[in-house]
Amino acid sequence: MPHSLIIVESPTKVKTIKKYVGNDFDVRASMGHVKDLPKSSLGIDLKNDFAPSYSTLDSRKKVMAELKKAAKNAENIYLAPDPDREGEAIAWHIADEIGREKQQIHRVLFNDLTKNTILEAIAHPSELNVNKYEAQQTRRILDRLVGYQISPILWEKVKRGLSAGRVQSVAVRMICDRENQIRKFIPEEYWNITAKLEGKNPPPFEAKLIIKQGKKLKVQNQEQAQAILEILKTSPFKVEDVEKKETKRSPSPPFTTSKLQQEASRQLRFPAKKTMRVAQQLYEGVELGDEGSVGLITYMRTDSVRTAAEALNEVRNFIRNNYEPEYLPPNARAFKVKGSAQDAHEAIRPTSMDYRPQDIKSFLTADQYRLYQLIWNRFVASQMNPAVFDQTTINVSSDVYLFRAQGSVMKFAGYTAVYTEGKDETDENNDFARTLPEVLVGEILKLLSLDHEQKFTQPPPRFSEASLVRELEEKGIGRPSTYATILSTIQDRSYVKLEKGRFFPTELGTLVNDLLVLNFPQILDIEFTALLENQLDLIEEGKLKRLATLEDFYAPFEVELKKAQTGMENVKKNGTPTDIVCNKCGSPMVIKLGRNGEFLSCSNYPSCKNTQNFSRNAEGKIVPVENQTVETEHICEKCGKPMVLKRGRFGPFLGCSGYPDCKNILNIKQDENGDIKPVEQEFSDVKCDKCGKPMVLKHGRYGPFLGCSGYPDCQNIMKIKKDRDGKIKAEAPQTTDEVCDKCGRPMAVKRGRYGSFLGCTGYPECKNIRKLKANS
């Protein structure tokens, strides 16, 4: 019988750990967090030092009961959730449930899931870390105070179901601010002038005009460019000076969490959420045939670039045995850890150099292999010699102008033989990646051609996942472990959308951001949010107390809350004013928010019910979209009038141009050429029990149903079911003993959007309904 109990988060870890610890240990999983704040209330006692009210999650009660039972018979209990703040909170909550007064409860930290690490951690366990737990509790309480107190205001003033978050709202602001910069950006014209030149030695090369009379030159228009070209056509081109130097490019350190997310986005096109999910799988363990479950990488939530000495020796031996001697530096390379890094864990690296990606590829999924290979290559490259280049700069004069050509040749590949870091769109182009000829100072060059090209300055680019993670990290917003969740949440809330790899704020996101920035300036302040993150770090270091941090935060926040409850603009009721005039009554149009997004509505509602869709131009100004219908070649089979293309809440459809006299509509689809085709009605064998016409299969918001082909004259509908052969059958209504008090027909059990109810079987002639009683 096992004498010790190890509790981890994930059942995947259980298999990996069990094969190393033997039968004396019972290894079990908590399945993640076991306790949390209530969903239905704030769960924070504002009058009692912000005390949180935790309870065991319903989904974890059975797990917790099994853990308690296993703990009763254990001499030693090792709590081994992830080695971060969230893991520490899980460990404390488990200890609370088991009974923290037990002396045999230990905390163990696994930076990786290799045999040596696991056995070493068990042999030298630590105690629960109260400071790390306090930091996690402070963050959880701060997030709850913001989310659960701002969100109801948004429900009242804007739309039910909206949410605000201490960090997510700041991320949305960064995207909205970038969009505003783009919309306000005024492009400036400039011209590039390039000379193609040839010397005594090949090859010909290009040089760019950069200087006039010793000062940097900016050619602003075509007239200026043409004037310069006229001068240059008759002027000799002479080599003024040649500079040659050897340059070295050093490798990047092994991955931190944020750098892994950025690089996986650039090179693998992985969203941050996917990167972390796959990295978690590699950390917890992958089945490698007869070896069983093996943890392939170190812990994937880290902001440190530190590497253990044993791992450095191992990777250096790998380089020594697999590459030429010149690729291995005389000493291991040490990378400087940033001052803001917690440095609790190593950088992300392979746990062993024995598992080369190509050797275990057959055991990995495609995503696991690609991410593991990226981590492997970056780690190996980090301990290799720099790449070496011969860099050449040639300055060429003509009249009062100076042209410059730059190029380089790689002398030694160094680490680039294994890995080269990806680039963002904003990174400068490498003008050195070309070979220049041997030229002498004073040499006269032959002009082959002169080119001029019109250019315009560009606005800052929209954020990609990689660049947004980089911006969050540089600004100190959130922590590496939270970036994937932040990016996922702001998309799930429909505040931003990712199109062609770039973030765009939605109309909803822009509206909510504007309201929050105006009413909660401190919460939406980037520097303030970064300051709070630093305070959480100080709490973990034992240099700051949880209560003092919460009190300092809540005092000004409470003032903003009270002002917002009465002062925030009620967009739901009044809409957002615009300078657009209603084309029916002349009143101003306002922006309102419906279930399908924002639209223009007349401020004179309900006297005038005019509405319009709208879009925004490049400057962000509102442009009404005329409610036009497009006539098609299809003819209404009910009245013979043309069918027109319309757009409803569920998408485009064909409607009769004779509306409202004829209400015939048809669903549509596009063929392979993009032409619109009506979806043919699928007639069933079922006859309408009201008028005798065939019933047709239709699709509504709650799924397929049978509707009378005599619609709109007959509006009878029936639920459907399919028999074993797949044939459609009408589902007979579940009649009851209840009688309709309007027409005397039987009442039947029906189901609507809010549950079951009693409806008259005489529908649609009789639309009587009742609540469903238990005895019905």
Active site residues: 299
Q: How many CB atoms lie within 10 A of CB 701?
A: 7
Of the candidates 276, 47, 257, 50, which has an alpha carbon nearest to the alpha carbon of residue 143? 50
Query: Cα-Cα-Cα-Cα dihedral of 169, 170, 176, 181, to 10°?
Result: 170
Q: How many CB atoms lie within 10 A of CB 357?
A: 19
Burial of 388 (0-12, 13-18, 19+ CB in 10 A): middle
Strands (E), 177-277: 189-198, 205-212, 215-216, 237-249
* CA–CA gap between residue 467 and residue 303 (Å, rounded): 17
Residues 6+ apart with CB under 8 A from 61: none
* CA–CA gap between residue 460 and residue 175 (Å, rounded): 12
* CA–CA gap between residue 248 and residue 235 (Å, rounded): 38
Residues 6+ apart with CB under 8 A from 159: 508, 572, 593
Q: Which two tokens stand for residue 164?
A: 């605000």
Q: Which amino acid does the sequence have at 494?
A: S
* CA–CA gap between residue 765 and residue 533 (Å, rounded): 64
Contact criterion met (CB below 8 Å) for 192 and 206: no
- Tokens 């603009």 correspond to 569
Contact criterion met (CB below 8 Å) for 401 and 228: yes
Contact criterion met (CB below 8 Å) for 385 and 326: yes
* CA–CA gap between residue 182 and residue 70 (Å, rounded): 60
Of the candidates 739, 690, 746, which has an alpha carbon nearest to the alpha carbon of residue 718? 690
* CA–CA gap between residue 737 and residue 748 (Å, rounded): 9
* CA–CA gap between residue 415 and residue 382 (Å, rounded): 7
